[in-house]
């Protein structure tokens, strides 16, 4: 029996090598997370290193990037925020960007229906955090809060604009809200307006007690401690508020 030997040429090997290189070149690259630096500076320290943004137009993300090097950066996977000497900070979340005025990152109020209660004369509500709390904390704590709020508002606005451009999609969104929330977007907005109108009938003290008890979930004892009054006084305010709300509902049925 004659044994035949097959000679392997270098052609196949080179071809395979070229294929391997091509696959490697076209493989998706892992995103590079920028490195943090000066992220331990306090907000008080950072404010001494930047210019005031008062009266200055907000630059674009591209304009800010090309204006020079940042003086501080905080970065985690899929999110980074860079502060520039001009006083503006660029926040990047995935492909979304927003520019923040750092010197306007002072007191912080949660976006709630009862945000106005944060300015009550006798007490602060859980929806409000004073500027002094942030001054000696690391600057990303406060600046990131504003950046995330802006990113969320921009994203919601863009999404709603796209929905409004497509009636079929808008109809699907309305139907989704009915199935999940039991009402459409329009109904939800109307209900919110009705509630605000109802609360306007209450005195400031009644409205404050009503919001803390029914919306924020505090007990009468906790509310009394926050407002510096007795539990019975809180109960009286709530009773009066409930009586007025029932009267409003009866009049508008």
| 201-253: CATH number | 1.10.10.10
Two structure tokens written together for 164? 């409004």
Per residue in 2-16, pLDDT (tens digit) is: 444 444 444 444 545
Is residue 99 a contact partner of residue 90, using CB atoms and an 8 Å limit?
yes
pLDDT score recorded for residue 66:
93
Per residue in 55-89, pLDDT (tens digit) is: 999 999 999 999 999 999 999 988 999 999 999 99
Residue 166 — very low, low, confident or very high, per pLDDT cuts 50/70/90?
low
pLDDT score recorded for residue 177:
56
Every domain of the chain with CATH number 1.10.10.10 lies at 201-253
pLDDT beyond 60 at 122: no
pLDDT score recorded for residue 167:
61
Is residue 211 a contact partner of residue 245, using CB atoms and an 8 Å limit?
no
Dihedral sign (CA 95, 96, 102, 107): negative
Residues 23-27: what's their mean pLDDT? Answer: 49
CB-count burial class (<10 Å; 0-12, 13-18, 19+) for 121: exposed
Is residue 187 a contact partner of residue 195, using CB atoms and an 8 Å limit?
no
pLDDT score recorded for residue 222:
87
Q: What is the mean pLDDT of the chain?
A: 76
The pTM score is 0.51
pLDDT score recorded for residue 164:
57
pLDDT score recorded for residue 21:
53
CA 100 – CA 1 distance, rounded (Å)? 83
SS (H, E, C) 21-63: HHHHHHCCCCCCCCCCECCCCEHHHHHCCCCCCCCCCCCCHHH
Per residue in 173-187, pLDDT (tens digit) is: 556 556 555 555 555
CA 120 – CA 73 distance, rounded (Å)? 36
């Amino acid at each position: 029996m004659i044994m035949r030997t097959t000679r392997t040429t270098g052609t196949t090997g080179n071809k395979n090598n070229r294929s391997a290189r091509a696959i490697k070149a076209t493989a998706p690259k892992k995103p590079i997370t920028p490195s943090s630096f000066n992220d331990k500076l306090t907000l008080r320290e950072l404010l001494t290193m930047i210019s005031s943004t008062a009266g200055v137009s907000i630059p674009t993300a591209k304009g800010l990037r090309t204006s020079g090097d940042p003086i501080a950066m905080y970065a985690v996977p899929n999110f980074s925020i860079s502060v520039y000497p001009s006083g503006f900070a660029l926040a990047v979340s995935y492909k979304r960007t927003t520019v923040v005025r750092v010197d306007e990152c002072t007191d912080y109020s949660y976006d709630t229906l009862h945000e106005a209660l944060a300015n009550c004369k006798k007490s602060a509500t859980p929806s409000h955090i004073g500027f002094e709390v942030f001054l000696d904390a690391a600057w990303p704590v406060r600046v990131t809060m504003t950046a995330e709020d802006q990113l969320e508002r921009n994203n919601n606005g863009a999404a709603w604009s796209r929905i409004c451009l497509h009636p079929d999609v808008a109809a699907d969104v309305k139907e989704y809200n009915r199935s999940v929330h039991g009402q459409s977007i329009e109904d939800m907005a109307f209900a919110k307006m009705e509630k605000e109108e109802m609360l306007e009938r209450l005195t400031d003290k009644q409205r404050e007690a009503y919001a803390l008890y029914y919306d924020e979930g505090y007990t009468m004892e906790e509310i009394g401690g926050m407002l510096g009054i007795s539990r019975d006084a809180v109960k009286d305010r709530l009773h009066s508020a409930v009586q007025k709300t029932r009267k409003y509902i009866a009049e508008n049925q």
